[in-house]
Amino acid sequence: MKGLEKIHAEISDFICTITIKNPPMNILTKEFREEFVPYMEKLKTSSDVRVIVITGEGDRAFCAGADLNEEGELTPESVRQFLEEDCRIYDIVNEMPQPVIAAVNGYAFGGGFELALACDIRIMSERAKLCAAGVKVGLVVGPTRLVRLLGEAYAKEVILTGRTITAEEANLRGLASRVVSPDKLLTEAMEWAKLIASRAPIAVRHAKNTIQKTMDAEWQEAMKQELDAFVECQDTWDHKHAIESFFNKQQPSFKGI
């Protein structure tokens, strides 16, 4: 996309790969926010994108968090606006109708940890290291998303100590879907992306939306949302094509209609 400096975006085979381009640590600056958020907004309605992969440039960091120079300039009057702008980075990832995969290639600290948590699937390099970091610098980072992903006990353990999580631990705890050698990270992430992109896109989007709403809904409401999604998908061309392909012993090729 013309004019982008802090991210590099490439779309191929229904997959958009976004690389955070602020080496060596790929921190989240004002300039990054001003590029990333509008670009993601445009992707929401793109029929050419079924899956998004986010990674960091270089081999040191996925994203090492916020710009401490920006934070150091905050006042009691400006901090709330800064937080709302910062949170928009993570919230928009949650809002994306397409699944978002984090390819965590190195440090994911502070805001980088939040960004990884906001993604739907996390594939990690063996070199990946994650840390909420908040209590180490007198702040609070990550409790809401981490509690919802892995529960209260583990969130307290990680956030109250501010300790670093290795890729191995992330894998054992279920925070990482797969851990691979650094040279295979993007290949692995793309394999996951290609698999999801090969599925019926309307159904995938409904499935993601239903899963996320289930977190905040009572059982009956959650089931209603699940059934509503089924009803909407049942009338799509993709579903009818998949049924026909099944009986013809063929592999379906979905159109998103």
CA separation for the pair 189, 170 (Å, rounded): 16
Question: How far does Cα 238 stand from its chain's mean position?
Answer: 26
Q: At what angle do helices 79-95 and 111-118 cross, to 10 degrees?
A: 30
* CATH assignment at residue 57: 3.90.226.10
Are both 96 and 158 inside the same structural domain? yes
pLDDT of residue 1: 46
Relative to beta strand 129-131, strand 165-166 is antiparallel
Q: Which domain holds residue 73?
A: 7-197
- 93 contacts 111 by C-beta, under 8 angstroms: no
Domain assignment present for residue 14? The answer is yes
Segment-wise mean pLDDT, segments of 10 residues, the chain, 257 residues: 82 97 92 95 96 96 85 74 86 96 96 95 98 82 87 92 96 97 98 97 94 80 73 81 82 86
Q: Give Rg (Cα) of the chain.
A: 19
pLDDT of residue 222: 65
CA separation for the pair 161, 115 (Å, rounded): 20
Are both 241 and 165 inside the same structural domain? no
Domain assignment present for residue 69? The answer is yes
Q: Domain tally for the chain?
A: 2
Are both 181 and 231 inside the same structural domain? no
pLDDT of residue 2: 52
pLDDT of residue 195: 98
pLDDT of residue 74: 66
**Which residue, chain included where needed, has tokens 């120079």?**
69
Are both 138 and 65 inside the same structural domain? yes
pLDDT of residue 49: 98
How many alpha carbons lie under 13 Å from residue 126 in its C-beta half-sphere?
5
The model scores a pTM over 0.75: yes
Phi, psi of 239 (to 5 degrees): -65, -50
Tell me the two tokens of residue 114.
């939040």
Helix residue ranges, H only, the chain: 30-43, 68-72, 79-95, 111-118, 143-150, 152-161, 167-173, 185-197, 201-214, 219-234, 237-247
Domain assignment present for residue 256? The answer is no
End of a domain among 176, 197, 218? 197
